[in-house]
Structure 1
Amino acid sequence: MPALIDDLLNILLGGILLAYRTILLILALLVGSVMPVPTVSPAGLRDASPVTARVAQPLGLPNIVFILADDLDLDLDTVTTMPHLQALLAGQGITFTHFFVNASICCPSRASLLRGQYVHNHGVYTNGPPPTGGFETFRDLGLENDTIATRLQDVGYRTALFGKYLNRYPYGSPSNYIPPGWGEWYSPSPTAPGYNQFNYTLNENGTLVAYGSDPADYLQDVLTTQALSFITRTVTSGEPFFAYFSSFSPHTPSTPAPRHTTLFTDTLAPRPPSFNELDVSDKPQWIQNLPLLTPEEVQQIDDQYRLWLQSMQAVDETIAALVETLEATGQLNNTYIFFTSDNGYHMGQHRLLPGKYLGYEEDIHVPLFVRGPQAPISQTVPYLASIVDLAPTLADIAGIEIPAYTDGRSLLPLLGGSPPAAWRQALLFEQYVGDHHGLRDPLGEPPDPFDSPRFQSAPLFYSGLRTADLKYIEYDTGERELYNLANDPFELENLAASADPTTLAQLAAWLSLLKGCAADTCRSLEMRPPPPPPICAELDFDHSGSVTVIDVAQVAAHWGETPQTPAWDPRYDLDDNLVIDAADMAVIAARWGEICP
């Protein structure tokens, strides 16, 4: 613990120095002088173009700086070790406490961000290869011809991407390919990708540039230098800008900058009650089959968590450098800054080795911090928000029409501190064929912890909905999970087997509707649950209008079946005990002879 305190104090001293430089700049502006201002230059960061302090011009269209982390958790406390993020974004803007991704997997989630659509509508289901996902699917479906980048560019924004685009980019296209909508482009190729932070090839506006292993080649720093240059050059043009900074951190192998390798050396991964959970008898069968984590596996988790924290310190320095440059160029008060992640990550919860893809809180609950011209200072927003809301929010900020195909909604009213009287009551999350089932194409990807045998029996599909207090999940095996998060935030007690059947039926109906929704229909369905279905109708299997002996016969025909049997039909497992037996007959007998409304 003393070592962790020393680490945090060292990082905080950096924040104090940044604040000191900012105060000097403000004093210079107040007396009307114009002076050169150094960019934030941690050891190893290449020098950017000189930044000159200037009096802010009259505000026009707001600028947008969007910072995206890769696999960053919220519930494992990584963001609390980032002092610049806390001071410059959370402390000067809004923290969304209930922000979620639609799919806990990189490429589908990034497609949702760029398009504002749920995965089942944009059709990029996995990280690839085609036809289920990856960059090629996004390109071949024509989706990149209409993204938030193309829309902003069309109304005069100068746009630039720094870092990771979509998994497998630019496979199947020229090595120097630049997608529509991007005026400037700095993204690594898949044959020399950026996950390791060293020894990569960067597509710099169509020119492929190879980088080595020197500290100055650290990718996060190289991208930061390019982003600072883009902002300062664009400010002189008088045009608004959209800078999309997509970091490779903290994605495995979570390579830290050399200057940060001595930090957090004694830190252990968080040990919430769900860590290496002792009793998983209420969980889906594949989790019940997991053995307890071994001491060696726990050590692996602790080792990865330390790299996790170390690798995010350079991202934290990027935040400081961007804010300082915006301040120096007179644009900070006319710029929205977003910070979020494409998905979450678990480390040891429910006996799971480090990874993602699941519907538990660690995987779908991610950070969102926003600082901007209208955003209140140091406030939290408890409203349900989703990654599909980001594209319509950016469009709203720019004053342009939100595409009709968008499933999300603008968060701008929440950023202005005046939330609407009515807001969504549920969010959809979904997962399709996952990379962990032998369909994963390793092109440009580091080894995935879920390639291990421990995860091989995980379900191929699931979908779920999240309300303010409840989470409901349905798996392709017929299994279900229900958690009361107000009383059970660590998802220890699955209530699906004991919940009121009417409540379960209502949640199932709501989820069924959301899984097939699109655009306005999604936003309408999210506002309120459907009315509870008549219990009688659920038992009227032959649709005769009443519960009769024919219905009993249909259930009896499946007597003794479990989710592992080929003919398994979860409709007949009326008490949700995963076997069709006398208990199900008792449920139907209790409604015998009832006329369905």
Structure 2
Amino acid sequence: MTLFRGTARLLVTTVLAVPLAVSGSTAEADPRPNIVMILADDLDERATPYWESMPKTKALLQDSGLTFTDSFATTPICCAARASILTGQYGHNTQVLTNEGDQGGFAAFVANNGDNESRTFVKHLHDSGYRTGMAGKYLNGLEDHPHHIPPGWDDWNAGVTKSLYTGYNYTLNENGTLVEYGSGPGDYQVDVIADKSVKFIEESAATDRPFFWYAASTAPHSPMSAPPRYAGTRFGAAPHPKNFQEQDVSDKPTWLRQSAKARSATVALTNDWDHHNRMGSLLALDDMVADIVRTLKETGEYDNTYLVFASDNGYNMGAHRLFQKMAPYEESIRVPLVIAGPGVRHGTSRAMVTSIDYAPTFLELAGLPVPADMDGASMTPLFGGGIPQGWRTDFFGQYGGSGLDGRDGIFQEYTTGDRKELYVIDLPSWSSLRTERYTYTRWYDLERAAGEREYELYDLTTDPYQLDNLLATESGRQKYAEVVARLDRRLNELSGCKGIACRKA
């Protein structure tokens, strides 16, 4: 069934039966904490001054919670990143490394690794008694299976059309009913997700069950812009960090040297437009966070709730002449992360945390065992502000590339109304090791034999903007041969790790 909503269409109101536990029953209320995850889309830590558009979130979460300054996406493209968040596994274990194809997209998520949907942290929470819900973006490719509802979700409101990215004229699968939203102010996607967040929290507070809520709007992913109430807000030109439109790319891999002019032209054409839209949509995301916190307080749930503000992956914003994400550079892999809740110290943490750590963290908060096949580590030992002995000092990153036809990667995120030039040039595959000091990358890891690959090495202590590839010259390769040998061994270890082996320092 498909229903239509919005000012441009006939409004149809439906009442969905939501099973609620009876408050005041003889059964004891489950005292375990609630968890609310607010996931931004393509929000980088480095190139976007997001707190300028999110002062409420800063005051409500950052100013009382723990900010992780070294938070990373292990597979920095939407579907692969979200697959790792849901399962707590690296991309080589979920077998989701891009947005489409044999190792990408929703179909691969379900088909690979013995059906990833059966092992998400959400299903574990649900099966243990949590009330679970989400609204917004699930996985790229769900639009080909619009009626699907994964196991473990009590309240399901997932976008099933690519137009979700625009903020208007999209369709949500609302617990099995396809509901179409229009182009009016009340249809703006972030606000709809905010309303559903409030409703879910209010309904859950009336039960004896703890809850998990996943607010997954597509802000600030292109081409979403500000809602009408903020349409007149101006932000100026996008910031230009030291590696913006990097002038000399002679030390970069072949794919970047050969496409540098085209990429640079696209950045010049789209970057300020993209920045303006991103900052505008973040104003709405800021309102959503405020609505969620207000509702938690009004329902008496705030003091027993962990709030997590994060992003799936970063965004390049012209760094190294690049747009979009997908790269092993800092702009693509660094993401915001703030956690607030019971026992979480206010301040900052320099602990290296990644997208595979959310799932074990949420399970431990719920008092559940962490499955042996989860690669990540619970972040709860970090909540006091310290870094325990043995915590990771490196992680493995990977991207599966765009496939033989060039359409398996970023092109899958293109929708009518967006700037198509942002989606026509992708990247080859890569594997990377990010340590506290170095970024070491093997390019063409899936396309070429070992002897034909290309390599990068950056010393982040002296070159934080990754401008000087230490392996670009023969003298550099000789000088850093021992470093590369050590990093290459570690990369190979992590590229095949599973479970606890991925957590060993």
Q: With structure 1 as the length reference, what TM-score do the two structures score? A: 0.74
Q: Secondary structure at the match of 1:195?
A: helix
Residue 421 of structure 1: CA displacement? Answer: 2.2
User: 2: CA distance between counterparts of 1:399 and 1:240?
Assistant: 12
The aligned counterpart of 2:254 is 285
Structure 2 equivalent of residue 475 of structure 1? 443
CA shift, 1:480, in A, is 1.0
Which residue does the alignment assign to 2:42? 71
| Aligned partners of 2:99 and 2:140 also within 8 Å | yes
Alignment match of 2:326 (pick from 353, 357, 370) = 357
C-alpha distance 436-313 of structure 1, shift in aligned 2 (>3 A): farther
Give the alignment partner of residue 410 of structure 1, picking from 364, 368, 378: 378
The one-letter amino acid paired with 2:187 is D
Distance 1:125 1:236, change over 3 A: same
Query: Against the structure 1 CA distance between its residues 295 and 481, is the aligned structure 2 distance closer, same or farther, given a 3 Å change threshold?
Result: closer
Q: Is the 8 A contact 1:127 1:435 kept in 2?
A: no
Q: Which has the larger radius of gyration?
A: 1
Residue 205 of structure 1 is matched in structure 2 by 175
Q: Which letter does structure 2 place at the counterpart of 1:138?
A: F
The alpha-carbon distance between structure 1 residues 468 and 437, as it changes in their structure 2 partners (threshold 3 A), is farther
Amino acid at match of 2:85: L
Change (3 A) 1:395 1:486: same
Q: 2:51 aligns with which of 80, 105, 113?
A: 80
Amino acid of the structure 2 residue aligned with 1:359 = P
| Correspondent of 2:238 among 240, 254, 269 | 269
Change (3 A) 1:295 1:284: closer
- Give 3-state SS (helix, strand or coil) of 2:217's partner: strand
1:294-305 alignment runs, 5 A limit = 297-305=267-275
Give the distance between the partners of 2:318 and 2:67, measured in 1 at CA.
Answer: 26
Q: 1:327 to 1:465 in 2, by over 3 A?
A: same
Confirm or deny that 1:114 pairs with 2:86: yes
Matched, 1:160 2:133: yes
In structure 2, what is the Cα distance between the partners aligned to 1:97 and 1:437?
37
What do residues 93-112 of structure 1 show as CA deviations (whole Å, max 9, x unaligned)?
01101111111111111110
8 Å CA contact 1:428–1:514 kept in 2: the answer is yes
Taking the TM superposition and a 5 Å limit, the aligned residue runs for 1:166-205 are 166-171=139-144, 173=145, 175-190=146-161, 193-205=163-175
Query: Contact 1:264 / 1:309 at 8 angstroms: preserved in 2?
Result: no
Which of 307, 328, 331 is the matching residue for 2:277? 307
The residue that corresponds to 2:96 in the other structure is 124
Offset, 1:298? 1.9
1:90 aligns with 2:65: no
**Deviation of residue 295 (structure 1)?**
7.3
Q: Is the 8 A contact 2:99 2:412 kept in 1?
A: no
CA 1:210–1:293: 2 relative to 1, 3 Å:
closer
* 2:314–2:335 CA contact under 8 A, matched in 1: yes
Superposed displacement of residue 239, structure 1 = 1.2
Q: Give a deviation string over 1:249-277, Cα, whole Å, max 9, x none.
A: 11111232111221124x11111111111
The Cα shift of 1:214 comes to: 0.8
| Gap runs ≥5 in structure 2 | 1-12, 14-27, 445-451
Does structure 1 retain, via aligned residues, the 8 Å contact 2:104–2:408?
A: no
The CA distance in 2 between the partners of 1:516 and 1:426, in whole Å, is 15
490-499 or 407-416: bigger deviation: 490-499
User: Do the aligned partners of 2:264 and 2:321 also contact (CA within 8 Å) in 1?
Assistant: no
- Per-residue CA deviations over 1:57-113 (Å, capped at 9, x if unaligned) read 999101000011111111013322111121111111011011111111111111100
**Shift, 1:128, TM fit:** 1.2
Aligned match of 1:519: 499
Query: Any idea what the Cα deviations from partners look like across 1:269-310, whole Å, max 9, x if unmatched?
Result: 111111111111211122223128767842421111111100
SS in 2 for 1:465: strand
CA contact (8 A) 1:79 1:85 kept: no
Root-mean-square deviation (Å): 2.1
Q: How many matched pairs?
A: 459
The answer to whether the 8 A contact 1:95-1:370 is kept is: yes
Task: Give runs of aligned pairs for residues 330-369 of structure 1, distance below 5 A.
Answer: 330-352=300-322, 354-369=323-338
Please give the alpha-carbon distance, in whole angstroms, between the structure 2 residues aligned to 1:422 and 1:80.
32
Q: Structure 2 counterpart of 1:72, which letter?
A: L
Q: What is the aligned counterpart of 1:419 among 368, 381, 387? A: 387
- Please tell me the residue identity of whatever aligns with 2:243: S
Matches of 1:90 and 1:340, distance apart in 2? 12
Tell me, yes or no, if the aligned pair for 1:126 and 1:435 is still in contact at 8 Å. Answer: no
SS of equivalent to 1:194: helix
Gaps of 5+ in 1: 1-45, 47-56, 528-597
CA displacement at 1:400 relative to structure 2? 0.1
Q: Which of 457, 467, 472 is the equivalent residue of 1:492?
A: 467
Cα pair distance change 1:504/1:299, threshold 3 Å:
same
In 2: Cα distance, 1:296 partner to 1:115 partner: 35
Measure how far apart 1:463 and its partner are. 0.7
CA distance in 1, matches of 2:72, 2:214: 20
| Secondary structure at 2:31 match in 1 | coil
- Indicate the SS of the match to 1:392: helix
Equivalent in the alignment of 1:104: 76
Residue 237 of structure 1 is matched in structure 2 by 207
1:178 maps to a residue whose letter is: I
For residues 479-528 of structure 1, the C-alpha deviation after alignment (integer angstroms, 9 at most, x for no partner) is: 1111111211111111124142111111111111111111111111xx1x
| In 2: Cα distance, 1:296 partner to 1:492 partner | 20
Q: Aligned in 2, Cα 1:155/1:514: closer, same or farther, shift over 3 Å?
A: same
Do the aligned partners of 1:59 and 1:334 also contact (CA within 8 Å) in 2?
no
Q: Using the aligned pairs only, state the percent identity.
A: 39
Task: Give 3-state SS (helix, strand or coil) of 1:128's partner.
Answer: coil
TM-score (norm 2): 0.87
Residues 132-183 of structure 1: per-residue CA shift (max 9 Å, x gap): 2211121223211121111000111100011001111152x4x332110100
8 Å CA contact 2:456, 2:470 repeated in 1: yes
3-state SS of paired residue (1:277): coil
2:223: which partner in 1?
253
Alignment of 1:439-478 (within 5 A): 439-440=407-408, 445-446=414-415, 449-452=421-424, 455=425, 458-459=427-428, 461-476=429-444, 477-478=452-453
Q: Which moved more, 1:280-289 or 1:244-253?
A: 280-289
Kept in 2: contact 1:346–1:355 (CA 8 A): yes
Corresponding residue of 1:398: 366
